[in-house]
Every structure is written in structure tokens, then in C-alpha cells.
Structure 1
């Protein structure tokens, strides 16, 4: 059992991933070259994650992650660990502006299910480290891709043979099992990363997804809301589940631009998540007008006003002014602050140094303390 009970989100938060350290990079390369075995790689990962946990505590963070140090991708590693899902090499062409990802993708080859997923061990190690080095005020936070990253992105491949409803039902059951398993392992703060919402940030992307799925945009949005709500419908009361939305994060580049206008009612008024991490670090994310759809007094909106893509520190007074502007739509008590995304959504990482990364985290904490008081 965790030393601390999470009842609300922290005012200074972060999305989760951190730049891979040199020992991690070297060990992973050595493993891929056949120079060390899986056990040696894990030993290095364990050591570096313990150091990362201590560093997060040292700088003053309360939600503590493992930095996703054991992952290559923020989403594919988890999804490929599900029953019936496989990772494979593809001719996939990167959608990022000015950068190319590895040619990896996933496919459904059997009935989707959750059973003895290896990342449960990753969480257990993180929690033990937080309990070991923390003072009881920290909590182990773990991130996994949203069910929409499976159901809406893959569409069942050949296995489900067009039976989308069965694929949907299996996805929901799979994720319900996952949430229960992480809860039973002691997880009280789970984040669902969901980039599927970028389908609705521009008219061009809306048209493309309508043509791909043969559905109108409102039906597509409602399906994604239903998927998330069904998945979390049985979550325990003492477990917080949040959702993170961004427009892509790879080597300091992005996929697309556009505001939350088309999805504001869906994410603020219809989704039953406890918190929303929203990308707001530059003009690509639009203005705060969509925040007017906010309805729930028990929900937190985490403003991603600090960029994880570049090292320059934002002007603190400007950030505080933006928080004040957002509070015209959402009560200040329901707002929090974070970077807009992680620092290393894939193992390659964004283009800044580790020290610059920690400067960003300190910046978030200092501004949050100034706005909301020490948290």
C-alpha cells in the first residue's frame, strides 16, 4: 500500500517521461548488439530509475515516475505487451515535422486481452523506490497509452475481420483488467496518454478521419468518449485516472496544429477522467476559449504551458498571466501546471540537456508554488 493517498492532482505535475541517461543509452545499445544480456540491462535500468526517483524528490516533485526508462516508445511497448497484439517493422512514414521515427507499428493477431503484463513489474519497482526514498508525500505515477490508441488506431486488423463492435468490447475488457491489475499492485495515480484527439484539431484532419472510418466526426468523437468512460467505469474511488493530450512529441518536433474547439464539449463535459493534461505551450494549441465547456467541480485541468521541446525558460510572469486568463473559464483551484508533454516520449528524447530538463521542472514547481502556495 502506498504511503500517501491521492485525493486530488498536484499543482506542479509532469507528463512522465525523462531524457534517457547515458548509462541507459549505453546499456540498451550493448544489449541490442548482443554484448550484455537482459539481466544486465535490467540491472542498469533499475539503478538509473532509483537515481531518477531520488532526483525527482530532490527537486520537489510529488508525482514520481520511472521516466519511462525501460521503454522505447511511450505507447507501442505497452500495447505490444497485451495479449493478441504484436510489434512489427513497417514501411510507416513519420508524420513529424522534420524528423523521422523508427519504422515500428503494432497489429492485432489474436483476441485482445490483458494477462500478466510485464509493465506491472515496472510499476512495482517504481513504487518500491518511491516508498524507499520518499517521505510519504510523494506518489508513484504510471502512464500507459489510452485504449483509444489501440481501438481507434488499429481497427482490429485482419483478426477481427471488420467486427469492430467485438474489438471494442475486447478492448474495454482488456483495459478494465489493466486498471484493476495496476490498482492491485498499489497504483493510485494512472495516466492515459491519448494522441487520438489530434484527429479533430483541424478541418483537414477531421475530413481525413471521416473518410478513413466512414463515419461523421461527431459519431467518431462520441465513440472515443464512450471507450474511455467504459474503461474507467469501475475504477476504485481512491484511484485517480487522468488523460494527456498532445499533438506529437519527438526530437522536439510535432505532428500537427490546432485548438480544442471541436472536442471541448467531449473532453470537459462528457469524459469522466479525474484530470486532463492539455498541451498549451505555444500558439499551435489554440486559445483558452474551449475551456468554457468545463463542467465538473471535481476535475482538474493541467495546463501544459511550459514546453519540454526547447531549453529556454519561459517568462514566469507571462505564465502566471496565462494561468490567470485560464481561470476566467475554470476556477483557479481546478487548475494545475506542467510541461506540455514528456521530455522523451521515445527513447531518442527531445533536444535539450538533462540539466536543462531539470531547470524546466524546477520552473514548473516555482511558478506553481507562487500561484497556489506550496503543494
Structure 2
């Protein structure tokens, strides 16, 4: 019998977030009303995460996550807890989803950026304990997201004196992420994922045009982002896997970007030194597989199964698409996952908990048919 793939990402893997259980949603609502305190809410989160980890193990996942069950948003909770960053309210999101809109909030750079006593370290330690020896995958927003949100999407950005030289800002974000990588590693993390929607925006023709009209050269920014991420990755120990998930928006089964990877493929796939890419490929909005020709030695996790809808994909169709992608990346360097998480914000996508587990069982079945080491 062929040995199972030893290193993450695995032949059947996940992006990270899971639907919040109804009981946890009720506790969060009670906390918002002042009916329970923060400790009571955290205890409810602990219970939900322990149950989730058991379910992840039962479905056969090789790496488990906390489902991001403690978070309101996939990105802002982490970014707002960085030193030099402040969360602020917003009248509306700077990106428009094709349907319902999440509760608007954003962050601003208000001081020197760094990673200090960050609450996500305790969150990681808890899920590590709950995993009982299983590998834990932990997700945080990519370094790109802080710059994108504060300096590109925002129409009122004015740099603080410390960051009038934008290269200093890029440098400090990278060093903050170096500190984060080392801190998570010291806490026991060996599988970290950087979640990033900037590349989805940079692939979108309409957004490229709009940003150009505001004076942004996205090709230059893309190169700066890769340089920043690579500088952050210099802190990665050899026995730690760091991947990147590229997303086009995921709120209540809606999206905000479309377009194939070609505009960023050479810069990103050819230059970014992550160990693997989780790529959205569940609809025509992601384009074809041709941009994968720029992949170097990274693993590519094909998001061919949607997390946005409950209907199960046809196994033969998914296998055919994997074979098509293998024309550009060797089959041994490919894996399979949902195109995104099931709940990038606390509201969650429009499917049930049983639907999400059925999706993962489907992904496992397909992977075991395609790869001997699944």
C-alpha cells in the first residue's frame, strides 16, 4: 500500500472556516446584548471548537482547524489586534458583494506596525490542545490585506508621518509577520495559512480599471506584495508549512471579484515563496488552468468544490478537471479542497452543517480515487 502524503497541504484539505453552530450564534447574540459575559462566550466557543475538531477527525481530515469560530470576520479580528492598527466603524464596505452585505467595519494604521501580545496565540494553543495530537492548521490574513484595506481600497488614506515612505510600511508589515510566524511556531504551529483577497481583486478587469483611474498601478503593487510576503517568509522554519488561499469574496454565498489568474500569475505563482496555493476554481469566474504554468515547486490545492451552494458536484466532472489541471502542474503537486471556507464571516454561507460535511466526504472520495497517497 502506498504511504499517505506526508506533508501538508494534503490530497483532501480544507480552507479553514466552518458554519457557526446555532447554539454558538445564540450565545454571541446574548453577549452582544450584555446578557452573558466574555468568559461565558469563550466557554461556549471552547465547547463548539472541541465538537468541531471531533467532526473534522471523523470525516478523515489530516489537519483540523478551529473553524474560525471565535471570529466575526476572517481578517479584521487578526489585523485589528496588531500593534499600530485600530479598528474603526465604516458606513459601508469598500468592496461590494453581489448580494447581501456584511456589517461594515475596517481598520486604520495609527502607529508602528508589529505583532505583540496577540490574542490569536491563545486561540491557537486552545485548538492545539483540543486536537489531541492531530495536526492543526491555523489561518490568518495575508500581509497584503493590511496594505490593501488601509492604503488601496480606502479612498481617504493619508499616511502617518512614520509611513510617508511607503517602502517603510511594507517593511514593517513584513517584519510584524516575521514575528507572527515565529510566535505561532514557538506555540507549536506547523501549518499556517495566509488568506488573501487582494489577488482576486487584481484579476478583476473592472477593479483594475477603477484602481487605475485612482492612480494605482496594480502590477507594481503586486510585485511589492510578493516582496513583502517573501520577506515575512524568511522567518519560516524548515519544518513549518505556510500556504496561501486566494479568494474572490465569500459572504453569504456571494462574491465581489471575478477574472482568471493570468494578470497576476507570473508575479504571484512565479515569485511568491509559499509552500502551496489554495486556488478558487469552482466557477467560470476563476478562468482556466493555463496560468498554472507559472507555478514553481509549490503544491496547488484546487478549489473545485464550491462552499457557496449545497448541491454536490459530479465526481467524474471534478476528476476530469483535475486531469485538465495536471496538464500544467504535475498530478503529484495537486490536491483538492473546497474553493473557500464555509463561513468567512460569522453569518456563514447558504447551506447547512450537514451540507458542509457532505462536501468534505465528497472531496475525500474523489481524492482517494485520484491519488494513491490520499
Contact between 1:199 and 1:209, CA under 8 Å: does it hold in 2? no
1:348 and 2:367 equivalent? Answer: no
1:106 and 2:114 equivalent? Answer: no
User: For 1:303, what is the secondary structure of its paired residue?
Assistant: strand
1:165 and 2:167 equivalent? Answer: yes
Gaps of 5+ in 2: 152-156
Contact between 1:172 and 1:231, CA under 8 Å: does it hold in 2? yes
Shift of 1:163: 2.8
The CA distance in 1 between the partners of 2:172 and 2:293, in whole Å, is: 35
The CA distance in 2 between the partners of 1:149 and 1:6, in whole Å, is: 31
Listed one character per residue, the Cα deviations across residues 165-190 of structure 1 (whole Å, up to 9, x for unaligned) are 22112111111000000000000000
- Aligned position for 2:53: 53
- Aligned position for 2:206: 204
The CA distance in 1 between the partners of 2:84 and 2:308, in whole Å, is: 34
Shift of 1:220: 1.6
> What are the equivalent positions in structure 2 for 1:225-304 lying under 5 Å apart?
225-296=226-297, 299-304=298-303
Contact between 2:303 and 2:338, CA under 8 Å: does it hold in 1? yes
**Farther off after superposition, 93-102 or 179-188:** 93-102
The CA distance in 1 between the partners of 2:360 and 2:158, in whole Å, is: 40
User: For 1:244, what is the secondary structure of its paired residue?
Assistant: strand
**Farther off after superposition, 362-371 or 304-313:** 362-371
The CA distance in 2 between the partners of 1:6 and 1:222, in whole Å, is: 32
**Farther off after superposition, 34-43 or 167-176:** 167-176
- Aligned position for 2:70: 70
- Aligned position for 2:358: 359
Listed one character per residue, the Cα deviations across residues 240-285 of structure 1 (whole Å, up to 9, x for unaligned) are 0000001100000000210001111122211100000000001110
Give TM-score, length-normalised by structure 2: 0.94
Shift of 1:112: 1.2
**Farther off after superposition, 167-176 or 44-53:** 167-176
Listed one character per residue, the Cα deviations across residues 313-359 of structure 1 (whole Å, up to 9, x for unaligned) are 00000000000000011100000000000000000000000001110
**Farther off after superposition, 83-92 or 323-332:** 83-92
Listed one character per residue, the Cα deviations across residues 157-211 of structure 1 (whole Å, up to 9, x for unaligned) are 4424633122112111111000000000000000000101123213322222234
Give the number of aligned pairs: 363
Shift of 1:229: 0.6
The CA distance in 2 between the partners of 1:203 and 1:23, in whole Å, is: 41
User: For 2:24, what is the secondary structure of its paired residue?
Assistant: helix
1:145 and 2:171 equivalent? Answer: no
The CA distance in 1 between the partners of 2:316 and 2:7, in whole Å, is: 29
Listed one character per residue, the Cα deviations across residues 99-140 of structure 1 (whole Å, up to 9, x for unaligned) are 111011111112111111000000000111112xxxx5x310
Listed one character per residue, the Cα deviations across residues 67-122 of structure 1 (whole Å, up to 9, x for unaligned) are 00000000000000111111111112451001111011111112111111000000
The CA distance in 2 between the partners of 1:189 and 1:231, in whole Å, is: 15
Moved over 6 A (4+): none
- Aligned position for 2:154: none
User: For 2:322, what is the secondary structure of its paired residue?
Assistant: helix
The CA distance in 2 between the partners of 1:121 and 1:274, in whole Å, is: 25
- Superposed CA RMSD in Å reads 1.5
User: For 1:225, what is the secondary structure of its paired residue?
Assistant: helix
